[in-house]
Amino acid sequence: MNINFDKYTNSNNNGDFAVIEETGTYHARLVMVRMNKMDPKFLKDGEEPRDQISFLFDVLNNQGLSCHVATKPCTITFTDRSKLPGILGKLGQPTSGKELRELLYTKDGKLKDIYCKVTVEATERPAGDGYYNRVMKITAVEEPTGQPVSKLVDWDFKTFGKEVELYDVNPAYETSDNDEDDDFINKVKADNGVK
């Protein structure tokens, strides 16, 4: 036998396929900041693709299961019409990239372990076979709640099905006692050119 089926486990055990079925406010923990270029199909002729940022959260649904839910990517701008300040909500309202970095990162350059409440939009799929989830904004910042770390999955490193170009992971989610998880993180980093 060449295939080792023992390594495959029920992914529902770690919440990989848990969803949020009702729009509302939920406890969450920041997992990752992700950067991509704007999709060329949204560009006008001759326009250069701008950087877009999205945030991935570990959200606890009504059953207490972890759901990895992201914000929609948006450009990094700080004007009245910008979507970024609306997403950051109660976390803070930076007016520059420097202030954004100070809001999200520690002095030694690590992503902060931010516990918060977020508004999640739950939209039923057209076929009625599930829900699409999207974090809309941070509504409160909380003291650490003891929310356990959940496993990262391949899909966490994608936006709209495409590999993210740059990302920073909350160090709590990078650290694992499970060698399989460490191998996964190292593989994703290698695939994205990160050492």
Taking only the tens place, the pLDDT of each residue in 38-96 is: 776 767 777 787 889 999 999 999 999 999 999 999 989 888 888 999 999 999 999 99
Separation CA 56–CA 88 (nearest Å): 12
The C-alpha angle 76, 77, 82, rounded to 5 degrees, equals 110
Highest mean pLDDT among 57-61, 122-126, 179-183 belongs to 57-61
59 touches 26 (CB < 8 A): yes
Q: How many residues does this entry show for the chain?
A: 195
Q: Does 192 score more than 90 pLDDT?
A: no
Q: Which residues contact 90 (CB under 8 A, 6 or more apart)?
A: 116, 138, 139, 140, 141
Q: What element of type H or E holds 131? A: strand 131-142
pTM of the model: 0.80
The label of the residue with tokens 């170009």 reads 165
The label of the residue with tokens 């809309």 reads 136
Structure-derived torsion over alpha carbons of residues 149, 154, 156, 162, reported in degrees to the nearest 10: 170
